[in-house]
Amino acid sequence: MEYDLIIVGMGISGISTAIYAKNSGLNVLLLERDTPGGLLNKINVVNNYPGYARVTGPDLSFSLFQSIMQLEIPYKKADVSRVLVEGDWKLLKTNVGDFRAKYLVLATGRSQKKLGLQGEERFYGKGISSCALCDGNLYEGKDVCVVGGGNSALEEALYLANIVRKVYLVHRSDAFRAEQALIDKIEEKENVTILYNSQVTDLLEKEDQLVGVVLDKEKELFVSALFVYVGFLPSISCVSDLGILNSKGYIEVNSNYETKVKGIYAVGDCIQKDVYQLITAANDGVMAALDIIKRNRKRGLN
């Protein structure tokens, strides 16, 4: 099927793009391989988005999805495996068929990095997690370990501290990168033990179950779960052969959020920028949509 615009990814940047494009009269299709809302569904509390003094990530995600439903913007659950450029058209190969569009916006986001430990993949979902909101209740009254030093790690450690018996917060440096307000809160939690200048170097298992971790190849820490928050990687596999990535693996865009390939844009967390926040992701989507709308009108006049 053919569209004016296809948007890959239904996080806040992709949905913002879709809303503006739909309201301008463009024929829009949204594609999402997972759950609408993206990483929002893994966030416990959002308290820095305009219009919401305090809202859970899943609730904000649902509100965004309601906007799509109210505007009757079509969407499909699809995994895009490859993007091909055919003249002015972009062909998307997916597991549910092929789709073509004049314009393409990549809002594919980022995925959380892993530690690279032996056996790590095997224990994901069975003792290792990157979503305290999803899995925290499984470890009520038990001891857990959180790895990381940014906002995500501290936010999740705070959330877990209200559920589990004890949280070991492991950070490889001697100072957190998180906001000071979060640092103050984590230091006040009596059941959170902070382990600075430490790294998880191995996993402890017994009868195919995770029973703990090893710190710095020598200290054993017996915990029921390991929660990992050590940064992100852009999700760009479907366009890795288009020559639009920078040296760090992010999609490179200009001031209008267009890539080196005419008609292909990228917004949100898959592009490299100084600030990764919900409000900046929404802005990316709006600015890309406005440029596409303007260009499409000029094309219609020619």
Mean pLDDT computed over 145-169: 96
**pLDDT of 209 strictly over 60:** yes
- What pLDDT does residue 301 have? 54
Got the DSSP string for 197-238?
S--EEEEEEETTEEEEEEETTTEEE--SEEEE-S-EEE--GG
What percent of the chain is modeled with pLDDT above 70?
Answer: 99
Q: What is the pTM of this model?
A: 0.84
- What pLDDT does residue 74 have? 97
Mean pLDDT computed over 132-144: 94
Catalytic residue chosen out of the listed positions 4, 79, 98, 131: 131
pLDDT tens digits, one per residue of 60-102: 999 999 999 999 999 999 999 999 999 999 999 999 999 999 9
Is 238 one of the annotated active-site residues of the chain? no
Residues 257, 77: Cα–Cα separation, whole Å: 25
| Main-chain phi, psi angles of 99, to 5 degrees | -135, 145
- What pLDDT does residue 112 have? 87
Residues 302, 300: Cα–Cα separation, whole Å: 6
| Main-chain phi, psi angles of 17, to 5 degrees | -60, -45
Question: What are the beta bridge partners of residue 207?
Answer: none
pLDDT tens digits, one per residue of 14-51: 999 999 999 999 999 999 999 999 889 888 888 888 98
**pLDDT of 201 strictly over 90:** yes
Residues 111, 76: Cα–Cα separation, whole Å: 21
| Angle ∠(207,209,212) on CA atoms, nearest 5 | 115
Catalytic residue chosen out of the listed positions 79, 134, 202, 269: 134
Catalytic residue chosen out of the listed positions 135, 143, 269, 284: 135
Q: 10 Å Cβ neighbour count for 214?
A: 16
**CA distances, 221 to each of 116, 136, 149 (Å):** 18, 19, 18
Nearest in space to 233 (alpha carbons), one of 108, 98, 118: 108
Asked whether 16 and 282 are in contact (CB, 8 A), the reply is yes
Domains contained in the chain, CATH given:
2-111+233-301 (3.50.50.60), 114-228 (3.50.50.60)
Nearest in space to 229 (alpha carbons), one of 117, 110, 130: 130
**pLDDT of 302 strictly over 80:** no
**pLDDT of 268 strictly over 50:** yes
What percent of the chain is modeled with pLDDT above 90?
Answer: 85
Q: For residue 121, what are the contacts with CB-CB under 8 A and spacing of at least 6?
A: 114
Poorest-pLDDT segment among 118-122, 187-191, 287-291, 297-301: 297-301
Which amino acid is it at 257? Y
| Main-chain phi, psi angles of 3, to 5 degrees | -135, 160
**pLDDT of 299 strictly over 80:** no
Residues 285, 5: Cα–Cα separation, whole Å: 13
